[in-house]
Amino acid sequence: MTDREAQAPAPDPHGTLSAGIFDVDGVLLASPHERAWREALRGFADEQRFTTAMYQSQVAGKPRLSGALAALQTLGVPNAAQRAEAYAESKQRRLEALIGAGAVSAFADALRFVNAVRRLGFAIAVASSSKNANDMMRGIRLDDHHSLFDVFGANVCGRDLPAGKPDPAIFLLAAAELPAAPANCFVVEDSPAGIEAARAGGMTALGVARLDDANSLWEAGANLVVTTLDEVDLDQLSRGKLWRRIYEQS
């Protein structure tokens, strides 16, 4: 563990936190997005070259067409710009098939954290570039009457915006619809592009490194990086501060 990871970060100087904005894929849900991107490469490039590291650094968090273009360019596919739309459409068909087959699950720590943040009285929003995010959340049942889709005060998933992450537009829109000042919002993200977007919007960025990729989230400007949302200190969050829990030595 590095010194940076071992220490709780200084409180963000912009403001006291009172609202949370959550990405979906990789934060709330273990979705088949990466698998769909990889399997849709058939006919474009060797799908084995589409690695998790490449997905996280080049594709995750971006709108579909931007992600398709980034993937093809990274893999050196000829005429990438002309072929990106076809690749994006192939990925969407594959993703819909995987969702229909039930290849979506929620991260248990994420559900615990969302519920804890709600109990603190924070306003919460969900913000994903994916137009499939809402259908996936509807499939996660919390009880007989509610799904994960139902718990957020604002939802800007899949909106058509002039620019995708790392542009902050989607997070600024989420804050406006809560409503909450950007300085009072923390954003939970698992991709460097998402972390950059949060910071560009003047928000506190909480990175979730589920894929042994903490360094890339720190480098993108995260205020705090955790491997599970259970590591966030809820007592400090109730005071508007984003800190890591300090575990007592036994």
Show the tokens assigned to 99.
Answer: 């969702």
Least confident of 28-37, 69-78, 226-235: 28-37
Show the tokens assigned to 136.
Answer: 């996936």
The DSSP code for 55 is I
pLDDT above 50: residue 5? no
pTM of the model: 0.82
Q: What crossing angle do the helices spanning 169-177 and 192-200 adopt, rounded to 10°? A: 60
Per-residue pLDDT reduced to its tens digit, 124-133 = 999 998 888 9
Shared-domain flag, residues 120 and 77: no
204 found inside a domain: yes
Q: Going along 157-199, which residue ranges are E strands? A: 185-189
Shared-domain flag, residues 136 and 180: yes
Q: Give the residue numbers spanning the domain of 51.
A: 33-100
246 found inside a domain: no
Domain-terminating residue out of 66, 100, 134: 100
